[in-house]
Amino acid sequence: MPYPYQITTPGAYQDAYQKSIDTPEKFWGEIAENFRWQKKWNEVLQWNFKEPRIEWFRGAKLNITENCLDRWVEKQPDTPAIIWEPNDPAEASRTLTYIELYEKVCQFAQVLRDNGAKRGDRICIYMPMVPELAIAILACARIGAIHSVVFGGFSSQSIADRIKDAQCNIVVTADGGFRGNKTIPLKEIVDDALATCPSVKKVIVLTRTGIPVSMMKDRDIWWEDEIEKIEKKGINEFEPEIMDAEDMLFILYTSGSTGKPKGVVHTCAGYMVWTHYTFVNVFQYQPGDIHFCTADIGWITGHSYIVYGPLSAGATSLMFEGVPTWPDAGRFWDIVNKHKVNILYTAPTAIRSLMGFGTKPIEGKNLQSIKVLGTVGEPINEEAWHWYDEYIGKKKCPIVDTWWQTETGGILISNLAGVTKSKPTYATLPLPGVQPVLVDEKGNIIEGNGVSGNLCIRFPWPGMLRTTYGDHERCRTTYFSTYENLYFTGDGCLRDEEGKYRITGRVDDVLNVSGHRIGTAELENAINMHTGVVESAIVGYPHDIKGQGIYAFVIFNAIHTDENHTRQDINQTVTKIIGAIAKPDKIQFVSGLPKTRSGKIMRRILRKIAEGELQNLGDTTTLLDPLVVDEIISNRL
């Protein structure tokens, strides 16, 4: 068996789970034996959730890229590591075998080194979904630099905030990127960001679109020119930097309930073991399978299940540059057919959006190769689950509903494809090592089945976050202080009579729009930057395709000649400050917001109004101005 720790029967799952609870150190120590280490650990686990301090495989030394590349180069150099499908189906796809990927990573590692990058430096990556993005990530890991990938849909302001927070000294980007019928001027966006980021000394620019860009002398260099220099020297190897188990591997920014996104930090060894173990078990990967995760590498799903999980398993990972609906809504199915995809991992939003096109785009497409389907990022509704099962899986493929977060590094709750049972809309069971608990408002643990509460985890797992970059206290208060000695996920959850888990959505001020996390405070801050806006309040409401839509209540003090024009202006502000993904779906102008006497906005009431639940608004008598509620209701959009 290629992966000796692969769980293949329900009984083996029970055994593994039990062992992971009874003797966690022994359990993870044995699994970790299957990786390549420069030096083994002295201790498997040290932890307390108070500070918090979490250390896995303490004292061990490794480089994650030796596990993702070198060991597979020795075993299967010609196995495809990355298959890349471009945005435009008329352009040729590319395949990089393990040896080819290895050489490219080593060469780019040399480029980084030659341009001043050192172990521990932070490097910002803002790129389209091309193989060079994975190459840049792995090259950072090779030299021991910490990558901070920023999703290509974020604005220059967002990039600048992230660069400053991490004090990055290098940016890797491209001239532009293709997404559907759009061309995104990535370099230009980076240039705007860098006007306020003196820490950045070098910008390495890949050619992707050929659009004109401005190159600043001594700072900006072309990827291709640098590689040419390396090739002339005949370099195609690079000695991996030997890292400590708990050295930082990467930072990934994510939105929370406070204004500023936080840099979630993952470290080398624990993250590697976790993404690998969950990849192999949840998807039941078999050598030769083609794994297609449709996420963007700018999000955690792409980090863990396009790059590190699959490559650490010697798998073939398919990377897609485009969008599901361009040139038409059959794009995913053409890709499945063309590359004979075996595992398809996507978001409920994509499924719901494709459902909207009916079954026509699927007709005549050969989906026979698919063995396993997966979903991630948000709760999946029954209808979408059954559509996925019937039309894509043809009722013969298990669907894994995988619940996890940027902070958890990899999947925590999910059925194992074809091994443990699925249940529509349920993530079902915790993976070995994961100890979920439900707590009530007061933090009391709710025992038994058929109950619901706030989802917490009471024991560390190797892939969990270690800190938030530059602000450990923020990590403690956000995740470890709400309930004593528990990691708080921010999600509400139900445990059914059989002990299976169903995630019901965020219970904090974070929205999940098309599977993207948007902090309401962050969005309100952005809207309030508009000169005419006095105050705003954001809530979510159910949206057929996006899962949640964004409803903005805005107090506007300037006279608007045309309300729709003002709405566009506000959207423009949001696009500039955060990015287009955070644009509100509805903007209602109000003269006041429902506030308590102490000045706190009663979001509960706004949420009900946005959801259209006008009958049962609850107690409004404590409001400063109860009449404002009537006004808001009568002008509801």
In the complex, the residues that contact ligand WTA under the rule CB under 6 A are: 254, 299-301, 376-379, 401-406, 427, 489-491, 503, 505-506, 512, 517
**How near is the Cβ of 299 to ligand WTA at its closest, in Å?**
6
| Angle in degrees, 0-180, between the axes of helices 603-611 and 627-634, rounded to the nearest 10 | 20
User: Between residues 361 and 379, which has the closer beta carbon with respect to ligand WTA?
Assistant: 379
Q: Is 611 helix (H, G, I), strand (E, B) or coil?
A: helix
User: Between residues 339 and 603, which has the closer beta carbon with respect to ligand WTA?
Assistant: 603
The DSSP output letter for 562 is -
**How near is the Cβ of 481 to ligand WTA at its closest, in Å?**
18
Q: Which residue is nearest to ligand WTA (CB)?
A: 406
Residue type, 79: T
**How near is the Cβ of 308 to ligand WTA at its closest, in Å?**
14
User: Between residues 516 and 603, which has the closer beta carbon with respect to ligand WTA?
Assistant: 516
User: Between residues 220 and 378, which has the closer beta carbon with respect to ligand WTA?
Assistant: 378
Q: Is 436 helix (H, G, I), strand (E, B) or coil?
A: strand
- Residue pair 478/512 in contact (Cβ under 8 Å)? The answer is no
**How near is the Cβ of 476 to ligand WTA at its closest, in Å?**
19
Output the CA–CA distances (angstroms, integers) from residue 89 to 67, 92, 153, 365, 615, in the order listed: 33, 7, 22, 15, 51
User: Between residues 171 and 493, which has the closer beta carbon with respect to ligand WTA?
Assistant: 493
Residue type, 635: N
User: Between residues 275 and 512, which has the closer beta carbon with respect to ligand WTA?
Assistant: 512
Cβ-proximal residues to 388 (8 Å cutoff; 6+ apart), any chain: 351, 373, 375, 380, 399
Distance from chain centroid for Cα 469: 17
User: Between residues 370 and 493, which has the closer beta carbon with respect to ligand WTA?
Assistant: 493
**How near is the Cβ of 581 to ligand WTA at its closest, in Å?**
12
User: Between residues 149 and 300, which has the closer beta carbon with respect to ligand WTA?
Assistant: 300
| Helix boundaries (H) for 115-172 | 131-143, 156-166
Nearest to 64 by CA among 292, 368, 275: 275
- Residue pair 632/623 in contact (Cβ under 8 Å)? The answer is no
Q: Supply φ then ψ for residue 230, to 5 degrees.
A: -65, -40
**How near is the Cβ of 222 to ligand WTA at its closest, in Å?**
33
Cβ-proximal residues to 492 (8 Å cutoff; 6+ apart), any chain: 452, 453, 454, 455, 503, 504, 505, 506, 507
**How near is the Cβ of 435 to ligand WTA at its closest, in Å?**
17
**How near is the Cβ of 2 to ligand WTA at its closest, in Å?**
26
User: Between residues 156 and 275, which has the closer beta carbon with respect to ligand WTA?
Assistant: 275
Cβ-proximal residues to 615 (8 Å cutoff; 6+ apart), any chain: none
The DSSP output letter for 544 is T
**How near is the Cβ of 62 to ligand WTA at its closest, in Å?**
25
User: Between residues 121 and 401, which has the closer beta carbon with respect to ligand WTA?
Assistant: 401
**How near is the Cβ of 578 to ligand WTA at its closest, in Å?**
15
Cβ-proximal residues to 257 (8 Å cutoff; 6+ apart), any chain: 478, 490, 508, 509, 510, 519, 520, 521
**How near is the Cβ of 428 to ligand WTA at its closest, in Å?**
10
Cβ-proximal residues to 165 (8 Å cutoff; 6+ apart), any chain: 253, 260, 263, 469, 470
**Within 13 Å and on the Cβ side, how many CA atoms surround 185?**
10
Run of H or E including 506: strand 501-506
- Residue pair 488/184 in contact (Cβ under 8 Å)? The answer is no
Nearest to 410 by CA among 498, 312, 513: 312
User: Between residues 424 and 505, which has the closer beta carbon with respect to ligand WTA?
Assistant: 505
SS (H, E, C) 162-217: HHHHHCCCEEEEECCEEECCEEECHHHHHHHHHCCCCCCCEEEEECCCCCCCCCCC
**How near is the Cβ of 496 to ligand WTA at its closest, in Å?**
15
**How near is the Cβ of 112 to ligand WTA at its closest, in Å?**
28
User: Between residues 353 and 536, which has the closer beta carbon with respect to ligand WTA?
Assistant: 353
Task: Tell me which long-range contacts 565-572 makes (C-beta under 8 A, separation of at least 24).
Answer: 566/532, 569/530, 569/532, 570/527, 570/530, 570/533
User: Between residues 275 and 573, which has the closer beta carbon with respect to ligand WTA?
Assistant: 275
